[in-house]
Amino acid sequence: MSATTTIARTPADVFAFVADVANDVKWRTGVTDAGLSTEPPLALGSEGYARAGKTVTTWKVVDFAEPTAVAWELTSGPFAGNGGYQLEPAGDHTRFTLVADVTPEGWYRFLGPLFQRMGRRQNKADVEQLRVLLETST
């Protein structure tokens, strides 16, 4: 599943913001802590985590093409799968797409259809929050 928005900032600006993993708490729904487990900056092979409440998910960067794409694979947590960000110039704006192809594991798998609906809604809200945040900050 994916969600796309157009942000009135350059791809380099948007990429710099989303590549700073600690910024996830500012625009990703429910994320209360996020960071790198490896040395910064974010790059191919980097590993990191995101905490949402008591749940921690870890990931590894499997594709990195600054300022147009970053992709990760989940390595632990209640979900399996992968995702990433795709950025394309759109005039003097950036077309930003959040991609998440994840499935619940463990007891969460019984709630799969609910998580799919919630995930689609959450991704749309997240990219909109990112747009608003970047367009209103200097």
Rounded to whole angstroms, how far apart are CA atoms 30 and 15? 21
Phi, psi of 104 (to 5 degrees): -70, 150
Question: What is the pTM assigned to this prediction?
Answer: 0.92
CA dist list (Å): 22 to 15, 34, 50, 108, 132:
13, 5, 9, 26, 18
Express each pLDDT in 20-70 by its tens digit: 999 999 999 999 999 999 999 999 999 999 999 999 999 999 999 999 999
- Please name which of 37, 84, 83 lies closest in space to residue 56, comparing C-alpha atoms: 37
User: Half-sphere exposure of residue 132, counting CA atoms within 13 Å on the CB side?
Assistant: 9
